Amino acid sequence: MAGLFITFEGVEGCGKTTQINLLENWLLKRRRSPLKTLEPGGTPVGERVRSVLLDPELKGMVPISEALLYAASRAQHVNDVIRPGLEAGRVVVCDRYVDSSLAYQAYARGLDFQTVMSVNQWATGGLLPDLTILLRVPAETGLGRTVGRELDRLEQESLQFHKMVEAGFEDLAVRFAERFVIIDGRDPVDEVHRRVIAAVDRVL
């Protein structure tokens, strides 16, 4: 495909939204036609699924249901937004993707890694990012940044859960080193942005 697929990953509160917005502006200035999107969501179907997945009242959701709902949202997202964007030659920048399902549902929830991977390969038609930027922030630091706002179902999970998510991302960055770039999300916003741009510039 003619476009470029970039994803951002990390624990809750790692700063993805800020860096994605800065990257979008940088790409616009260079006339690279960015398409900014997010998961779960990104489509009308996905937004309905997102409301279920993140509803703090649905604490009884079992891990398999959670994993399948994420995959369902992702299938619609790839079909309606991501793949058409790439085929049109756009730079698609996505807040979370398959690696989040692996970190949250496999590493933290304890589901079988290969099963989660296989379900997502089926849902996406095997589409993986050209570049994945992992904003490395300790789980406790990230959660500290969420204080004072209404938390969703996943944000309300225990610190131990989020530490397992953090460890999962670290393992994924080693497992898929060919597409991962790790950036310290504790650095000043401008410095993080500079490193994001350097990583993106290498693949453009």
Across the chain, mean pLDDT equals: 97
Q: What is the pLDDT of residues 140-155, one digit of tens each?
A: 999 999 888 899 999 9
Q: Hey, what domains does the chain have and what are their CATH numbers? A: 4-203 (3.40.50.300)
| Range 112-116 average pLDDT | 98
> Could you write out the DSSP letters of every residue in the chain?
--SEEEEEE-STTSSHHHHHHHHHHHHHHTT--EEEEESS-SSHHHHHHHHHHT-TT-TT--HHHHHHHHHHHHHHHIIIIIHHHHHTT-EEEEES-HHHHIIIIIIIT---HHHHHHHHHHHHTT---SEEEEEE--HHHHHHTTTTS---TTTTS-HHHHHHHHHHHHHHHHHTTTTEEEEETTS-HHHHHHHHHHHHHHH-
State yes or no: pLDDT of 99 exceeds 90.
yes
Q: Which pLDDT score is estimated for 80?
A: 98
